[in-house]
């Protein structure tokens, strides 16, 4: 640099740099690096430049990629101001006003210098003043900048294009500009300005030499950085966990990383250089992929199947887009992800859905089968119940005992059918209990009676040891059913002539303070015993242990599951024990002597209906193709004083209904020619305004059956075998 000219400004400290340039690209690169140096370490950068230069600088500063939440990558604070607008804020009559400069620029510099150093500032306002012919004003502005540098200690870079010092008059200002800066910032070599002063020309050449030296140094550093980043990029791509490959426009594989090769099992030379179509199993898929990429589309999660070296096929997902130059595809960038787990999950899900559909169909088929089974079982039970009611009315003492036995067995059979129709109801324990206070010995006597036929057939010796003073509160029918199941189970799995013990007692020790104790009921046999691995499963629904070929008495696997649910409904428990095969077995029921408050919503037994007075007799139409059932029911209703008309098919019912004008019509659903749903509609039309209660009498008793009969026009839905007393009360209510 030339010596300081008297009267000119001294070089300030710490740093005031100047950049002389011919090409904007050189300036922008240096300003970018200058600002980047401060921003990268959390400092501030103030850029006061022309709007054209700001438009070019901002993308460069943000070009290294966005940060999180769309924020810039750098942690520092970037402030940009348009140079001309900033000049207008403090220039007065062509001269920089110091107070306005400090208020507009000085306060901003002071705040940023204090906030988080370092602070780098770049200004083009002096260049604008020179281009407008105000070189002295530019030097005054440089002096104001130097004052700020001394106060706040920051770096300032000013920039002048060589053209502003092109004339001899401007040569003096060039040397003054050089003198007010600490050093030249890196600049590119260019043509020397046409300045007559040889000293100034030497200064220019000196400045260009220094700039060239700095430029070479900077280029070397950039080359080193470029090589380092290239190595990092190669390492990143080649060792990424995701499969990557690049494909030429004609389909040739140009490059693949290690993850891609390992996924498919190929060596580099076995994969790269071949056509991508060689590895795709489905020709139509790769054709679609290549056509889409050539059309400029981007593919996400494109399913494909690739052929591995070992001959296996691997499902993958492909992300890909193309690189275009002059509108032509040069190559495609492809990401390949192993989708084996995803495909396996999808297959498993499809299998699961298929199994669920099969289970639903099986469940529906089971429900339909049970409904039909219940219907077929109830049909013969209906006339039996009605015949028993007639026998009771006639009051024959000679058959009283036999009739009572039949009634009890029919009651049990009806309840078992109800349980069978809804197995899920059994497993949920959703069975209505009728709580009574009874002698336990009477309940167990009924249980023995229910199992006596099988006990006699197999010539077992049954010993009963029951405390006859025991009183128990609960549903006697359900408990008798549970104990009878245990006795039946013991009889089945004990060889002919075996021994079975039924015992019951009160265990006051288990009752606890304030309780009436626990009732213990035990069934023990000397039969085939139970293997240890079977014991935990005995009370599961439909579970059956291995049976010999001659053991044909085995049940359906419902009995013990029903015992468990019935006992637990009473708040009790049941357990099984055996010392092993051939050592017999023991089943123990424990029940609270008194029912809980929830169970003591005891259902009272309804009194049998009495014969009606002549004035209360009703006209009843019975339609059923089960002759025995409907005739027995007609005899019962006639015995109670009602007027009954019986027909066995829908056509006959339609022929007589208008003449007979019934008060109550009891219709079977499963009729020939025309079902009960259609018949009730036709009968309603025929009777018109005549009041008549329509009652559905059927073997189908599920909720869907009741909903359908209600929708068809029935006012009541009764399930076979119907309680005669319930039907009689319903008929009496029809006339009220």
The string of pLDDT tens digits covering residues 607-651 is 445 566 666 788 999 999 888 778 888 888 888 888 999 999 999
What integer pLDDT is reported at residue 485 of this predicted model? 87
Residue 541: its H or E element: none
Residue 600 counted as domain residue: no
> Is residue 424 included in any domain, yes or no?
yes
Q: Give the range among 310-319, 339-348, 522-531 with minimum mean pLDDT.
A: 339-348
**DSSP bridge pairs for 502:** 464, 523
Cβ neighbours, 10 Å, residue 245: 23
Across 55-59, 175-179, 336-340, 483-487, least confident range: 175-179
Q: Is residue 423 assigned to a domain?
A: yes
pLDDT of the residue at 63: 57
| 634, 550: one domain | no
Residue 237 predicted with pLDDT over 90 = no
Give CA–CA dist 596/575, Å, rounded: 21
Say yes or no: 77 and 198 in one domain: yes
Winning range, highest mean pLDDT, from 229-238, 494-503, 701-710: 494-503
**pLDDT at position 145 over 60:** yes
What pLDDT is attached to residue 22? 78
Per-residue pLDDT at 191: 37
Does residue 311 belong to any structural domain of this protein? yes
- Looking at residues 470-480, what average pLDDT do you find? 88
Identify the CATH number of the domain in which residue 478 sits. 3.30.565.10
Query: Which residues contact residue 252 at a Cβ distance below 8 angstroms, ignoring those fewer than 6 apart?
Result: 273, 274, 275, 276
pLDDT tens per residue, range 662-671: 999 999 988 8
* Strand ranges, E, within 326-371: 328-338
> Could you say which of 180, 200, 229 is where a domain stops?
229
Does residue 604 belong to any structural domain of this protein?
no
Do 422 and 441 belong to one domain? no
In DSSP terms, which residues pair with 317 in a beta bridge?
303, 337
DSSP 3-state assignment of 4? coil
Q: Which residues 6+ apart lie within 8 Å of 513 measured at CB?
A: none
Quote the strand ranges of 326-367, DSSP E: 328-338
Q: Are residues 450 and 426 in the same domain?
A: no
Poorest-pLDDT segment among 119-133, 239-253, 335-349: 335-349
Q: Count the alpha carbons within 13 Å of 531 in the hemisphere toward its beta carbon.
A: 7
Q: Which of 323, 338, 353 is the last residue of a domain?
A: 338
> For the domain that residue 299 is a member of, what is the CATH number?
3.30.450.20
CB 471 within 8 A of CB 434: no
Whether 400 maps to a domain, the answer reads yes
**Is the confidence at residue 346, as pLDDT, over 70?**
yes
99 shares a domain with 58:
yes
3-state secondary structure of 235: helix
Tell me if 235 is assigned to some domain: no
- pLDDT, tens digit (0-9, with 9 covering 90-100), for 70-97: 556 677 889 999 999 999 999 999 999 9
- pLDDT for residue 210: 56
Q: What average pLDDT does this structure show over 652-680?
A: 90
Q: How confident is the model at residue 349 (pLDDT cuts 50, 70, 90)?
A: confident
pLDDT band at 544 (very low <50, low <70, confident <90, very high): low
Over residues 443-459, the pLDDT tens digits come to 999 999 988 888 888 89
Of 118 and 414, which is predicted with more confidence?
118
Q: What is the pLDDT of residue 10?
A: 36
DSSP class per residue in 160-212: EEGGGG-SHHHHHHHHHHHHTSSEEPP----PPP--S-HHHHHHHHHHHHHHH
Q: Give 366-417 pLDDT, tens digit per residue.
A: 666 666 666 666 667 667 777 766 776 666 666 676 666 676 666 656 656 6
Provide the CATH number for the domain around residue 658. 3.40.50.2300
User: 443 and 510, same structural domain?
Assistant: yes
Categorize the per-residue pLDDT at 331 as very low, low, confident or very high, splitting at 50, 70 and 90. very high
> Rounded CA gap, 695 and 264, in Å?
73
> The pTM is what?
0.37
CB-based contacts of 550, cutoff 8 Å, min separation 6: none
**d(Cα 484, Cα 497) in Å, to the nearest integer?**
19
User: Is the model's pLDDT at 101 over the cut of 80?
Assistant: yes
Query: Rounded distance, CA 135 to CA 174, Å?
Result: 9
21 and 135 housed in the same domain: yes
On the question of pLDDT at 711 being above 50, the answer is yes
Centroid of chain to Cα 736: 56
Q: Residue 6's pLDDT band (boundaries 50, 70, 90)?
A: very low
CB 51, CB 89: distance < 8 Å: no
pLDDT of residue 573: 93
Does residue 452 sit in the same domain as residue 569? yes
476 part of a folded domain? yes
Is 543 exposed, middle or buried (CB count within 10 Å of its CB: 0-12, 13-18, 19+)? middle
Same domain for 106 and 201, yes or no, is yes
Which of 185, 206, 229 is the last residue in one of the domains? Answer: 229
CATH code: domain of residue 156: 3.40.50
**Distance of alpha carbon 306 from alpha carbon 196, whole angstroms:** 75
The predicted pLDDT at position 638 comes to: 87
Mean per-residue pLDDT of the chain: 81
- Taking residues 308-329, what's their average pLDDT? 91
Contact call for residues 144 and 96 (beta carbons, < 8 A): yes
Range of the domain at 255: 243-338
Q: How many residues does the chain have?
A: 736
Identify the residue with better confidence: 59 or 720: 59
Asked if 496 and 477 sit in the same domain, the reply is yes
Query: Looking at the 3D structure of the chain, how many domains does it have?
Result: 4
Q: Report the distance separating Cα 435 and Cα 476, nearest Å.
A: 8
Confidence of residue 287 (pLDDT cuts 50, 70, 90): very high
- Quick one: 33 and 114 in the same domain? yes
> Same domain for 537 and 631?
no
Residues 6 or more apart in contact with residue 55 via CB below 8 angstroms: none
**C-alpha distance from residue 730 to each of 66, 549, 637, 694 (Å):** 82, 52, 12, 11
């Amino acid at each position: 640099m030339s010596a300081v000219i008297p009267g000119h400004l001294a070089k300030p400290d710490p740093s005031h740099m100047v950049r002389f340039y011919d090409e904007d690209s050189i300036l922008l690169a240096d300003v970018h690096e200058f600002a980047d140096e401060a921003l990268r370490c959390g400092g501030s950068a103030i850029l006061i430049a022309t709007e054209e230069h700001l438009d070019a600088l901002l993308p460069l500063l943000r070009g290294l990629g966005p940060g999180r939440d769309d924020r810039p990558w750098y942690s520092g604070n970037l402030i940009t101001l348009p140079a001309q607008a900033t000049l207008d804020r403090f220039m007065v009559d062509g001269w920089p006003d110091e107070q306005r400069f400090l208020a507009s620029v000085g306060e901003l510099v002071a705040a940023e210098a204090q906030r988080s150093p370092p602070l780098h500032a770049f200004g083009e306002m002096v260049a604008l003043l020179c281009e407008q012919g105000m070189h002295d004003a530019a030097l005054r502005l440089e002096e104001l900048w130097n004052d700020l540098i001394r106060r706040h200690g920051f770096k300032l870079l000013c920039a002048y294009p060589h053209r502003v010092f092109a004339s001899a008059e401007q040569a003096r200002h060039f040397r003054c500009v050089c003198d007010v800066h600490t050093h030249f910032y890196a600049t590119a070599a260019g043509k020397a300005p046409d300045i007559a002063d040889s000293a100034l020309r030497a200064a220019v050449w000196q400045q260009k030499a220094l700039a060239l030296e700095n430029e070479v140094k900077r280029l070397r550093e950039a080359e080193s950085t470029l090589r380092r980043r290239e190595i990092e990029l190669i390492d990143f791509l080649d060792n990424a966990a995701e499969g990557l490959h690049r494909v030429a426009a004609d389909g040739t594989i140009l490059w693949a990383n290690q993850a891609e090769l390992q996924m498919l099992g190929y060596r580099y030379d076995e994969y790269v250089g071949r056509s991508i179509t060689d590895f795709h199993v489905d020709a139509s898929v790769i054709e679609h992929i290549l056509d889409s990429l050539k059309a400029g589309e981007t593919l996400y999660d494109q399913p494909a199947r690739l052929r591995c070296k070992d001959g296996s096929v691997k499902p993958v997902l492909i992300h890909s887009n193309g690189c275009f130059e002059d509108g032509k595809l040069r190559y495609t960038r492809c990401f390949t992800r192993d989708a084996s787990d995803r495909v396996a999950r999808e297959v498993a899900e499809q299998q699961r859905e298929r199994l669920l559909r099969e289970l639903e169909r099986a469940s529906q088929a089971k429900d339909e089968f049970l409904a039909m089974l219940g219907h077929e079982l109830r049909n013969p039970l209906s006339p039996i119940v009605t015949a028993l009611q007639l026998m009771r009315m006639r009051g024959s003492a000679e058959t009283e005992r036999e009739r009572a036995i039949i009634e009890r067995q029919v009651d049990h059979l009806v309840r078992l059918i109800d349980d069978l129709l809804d197995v899920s109801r059994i497993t949920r324990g959703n069975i209505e209990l009728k709580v009574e206070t009874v002698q336990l010995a009477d309940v167990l006597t009924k249980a023995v009676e229910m199992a006596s036929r099988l006990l006699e057939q197999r010539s077992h010796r049954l010993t009963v040891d029951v405390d006859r003073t025991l009183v128990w509160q609960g549903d006697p029918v359900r408990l008798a059913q549970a104990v009878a199941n245990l006795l039946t189970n013991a009889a089945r799995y004990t060889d002919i002539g075996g021994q079975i013990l039924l015992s019951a007692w009160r265990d006051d020790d288990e009752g606890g303070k304030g309780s009436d104790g626990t009732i213990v009921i035990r069934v023990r046999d000397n039969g085939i015993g139970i293997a240890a691995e079977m014991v935990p499963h005995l009370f599961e629904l439909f579970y059956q242990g291995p049976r010999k070929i001659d053991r044909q008495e085995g049940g359906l696997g419902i009995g013990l599951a029903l015992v468990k649910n019935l006992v637990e409904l009473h708040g009790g428990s049941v357990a099984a024990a055996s010392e092993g095969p051939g050592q017999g077995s023991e089943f123990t029921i424990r029940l609270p002597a008194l029912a809980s408050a929830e169970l003591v919503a005891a259902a009272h037994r309804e009194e049998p209906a009495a014969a009606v007075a002549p004035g209360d007799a009703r006209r009843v139409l019975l339609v059923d193709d089960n002759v025995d059932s409907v005739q027995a029911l007609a005899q019962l209703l006639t015995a109670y004083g009602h007027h009954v008309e019986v027909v066995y098919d829908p056509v006959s019912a339609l022929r007589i209904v208008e003449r007979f004008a019934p008060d109550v019509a009891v219709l079977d659903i499963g009729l020939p020619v025309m079902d009960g749903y259609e018949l009730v509609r036709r009968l309603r039309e025929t009777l018109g305004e005549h009041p008549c209660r329509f009652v559905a009498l059927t073997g189908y008793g599920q909720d869907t059956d009741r909903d359908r009969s209600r929708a068809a026009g029935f006012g009541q839905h009764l399930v076979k075998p119907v309680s005669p007393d319930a039907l009689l009360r319903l008929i009496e209510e029809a006339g009220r």
